[in-house]
Amino acid sequence: MRRAIYPGSFDPITNGHLDVIRRAAALFDELVVAVACNDQKCPVLPADQRKELIEDACSELANVSVLIFSGLVVKLAEAQGAVVLIRGLRAVSDFEFEFQMGLMNRRLSPGLETIFLTPQEDYTYLSSRLVKEVSRLGGAIEDFVPAGVAAALKSAYQ
């Protein structure tokens, strides 16, 4: 049984994240999507709402579960029995940070392998930050996020 873990802020989940989740869920027996509860990042949506939105978006993926965590990802991976850490790579701009983080995590937990997945091209320009900015300024974001997220952001910005 191979379990993978996909950590992130998911503030909010976008179709890019969902694409990575689908790919990872097809590769591993179980995928745990781990929502970071980090108030220093000043999230727009509370962690429990981010978790619910991911659960709704993944309801047809039977091997995907969602949890909230704080602290080191490698410790969570160990506690969950995960052998792989999933991260998404959109463009070269993601690479440097993800590369550093991957090497640090390997140093902290040598048995945990980081695997980078690339989304479908249409999603490579999508980021939670940009989606929030468009929504905050009154733009339509329905094409970029799973159902439910647009409404959640709209009411968060009211």
Would you please indicate which residues are annotated as catalytic (active-site) residues?
17, 41, 90, 128
Q: Does 10 bind ligand ADP (CB under 6 A)?
A: yes
Position of minimal CB gap to ligand ADP: 16
In whole angstroms, how close is the CB of 47 to ligand ADP at the nearest point? 12
What residues between 89 and 128 interact with ligand ADP by CB under 6 A?
90, 94, 119, 123, 126-128
Distance CA 78, CA 17 (A): 23
1 vs 57 by CB, closer to ligand ADP: 57
What residues between 21 and 80 interact with ligand ADP by CB under 6 A?
none
Distance CA 145, CA 40 (A): 24
How far lies 122's CA from each of 16, 88, 144, 157, in Å? 8, 14, 10, 26
DSSP string, 36-89: E--GGG--SS-HHHHHHHHHHHTTT-TTEEEEEE-S-HHHHHHHHT--EEEEE-
Residues in touch with ligand ADP (CB under 6 A): 8-10, 14, 16-17, 20, 87-88, 90, 94, 119, 123, 126-128
